Amino acid sequence: NKDAFSWEEYLKETSSSPAPPSCFRQSRVPPGNDFKMGMKLEGHDPRNSTSVCIATVMGLMGTRLRLRLDGSDNTNDFWRLVDSADIQPIGTCEKNGDMLQPPLGFRMNASSWPMFLLRTLSGAEMAPATAFKKEPCRPLQNGFKPGMKLEAVDKKNPYLICPATIGEVRGDEIFVMFDGWRGAFDYWCKYDSRDIFPVGWCSVTKHSLQPPGNSVTLPKSLQSPPPPPPSSSSSPAKPTRRSMQSPYRLSAPLPPLPVRKGVRG
């Protein structure tokens, strides 16, 4: 398949290198995905992380699960890795002396929660304890360097994992830039985020990898600087307004770039 994205060719075309796997909080050997559609488990409510809810597996891709909280609508699905610390077998909460909570935005009256819980669990297929894998340890330090390539979850479209580049490193934070998308999806995150993966992860785990967008990626010297990280402790500098700067404001000719055909989106 000559149209398929190939990291090998892309790294050559862009004369760049992958971030070493030791930089990531991911297992060196990716865990297997032993979950099945419809299985139930306990998970922290992403919108209210102190409460533990019942979730149902709505989809599986690579080492990730698409989850929906029981009693919630279908517009708040979220994704977790099979070795995420946010998920656990049914019964864990009770064993710890805690109570299962209705999700934020529970679609019924709060008083119907105990009965809802009983019904949602009765006859349900519960994910076996063996399907939950131990979360890997965080690397001892931030080993990322600007320019290194990686695969990263697009937080605006969290079912997607896409080729990306480290744009900047500041303390424990890294700036993840999505190749070919003019900064629209870029974000700061901690170096030990579970949403970033070494080059080749998707291929090894059989997760789809969205090819780079087809916008020109400006050379570093012509790029506007990334916005400061969210919790920057440095002196309050003027906010960077990327959107105000025209991406066409080029003062020097661009080096020739490999041409990619086909519009994606």
Site map for ligand MLZ, 181-210, x if CB under 6 A? x---x------------------------x
Identify which of residues 43 and 163 has a Cβ nearer to ligand MLZ in the complex.
163
Whether the CB-CB separation of 149 and 142 falls below 8 Å is answered with no
- Within the chain, where are the H helices? 7-13, 92-95, 113-121, 201-205
Identify which of residues 42 and 186 has a Cβ nearer to ligand MLZ in the complex.
186
Which of the residues 210 through 229 are near ligand MLZ (CB under 6 A)? 210
Which region, judged by CB under 6 A, interacts with ligand MLZ, from 10-18, 54-62, 135-143, 178-186? Answer: 178-186
Residue 62 pairs in a beta bridge with none
What SS3 state is found at 79? Answer: strand
Number of residues that bind ligand MLZ (CB under 6 A): 9
Strand order in the sheet with 187-190: 187-190, 173-178, 161-170, 149-153, 196-197
- Give CA separation, 244 vs 67, 188, 262, in Å: 38, 20, 28
Q: What is the DSSP letter of 98?
A: -
Identify which of residues 138 and 182 has a Cβ nearer to ligand MLZ in the complex.
182
Residue 79 pairs in a beta bridge with 66
Sign, Cα dihedral of 192, 196, 202, 208: positive
Closest CA to 55 of 31, 36, 77: 77
Shortest spacing between CB 30 and ligand MLZ, in angstroms: 22
Q: What is the DSSP letter of 191?
A: T
Which region, judged by CB under 6 A, interacts with ligand MLZ, from 17-25, 47-55, 59-67, 155-163? Answer: 155-163
Which region, judged by CB under 6 A, interacts with ligand MLZ, from 36-44, 47-55, 153-161, 167-175? Answer: 153-161
Instruction: Based on the shown chain and the rule CB under 6 A, indicate whether residue 33 belongs to the binding site for ligand MLZ.
Output: no
Shortest spacing between CB 148 and ligand MLZ, in angstroms: 17
Identify which of residues 147 and 180 has a Cβ nearer to ligand MLZ in the complex.
180
Instruction: Based on the shown chain and the rule CB under 6 A, indicate whether residue 42 belongs to the binding site for ligand MLZ.
Output: no
Binding residues vs ligand MLZ (CB under 6 A)? 154, 157, 160, 162, 178, 181, 185, 210, 265
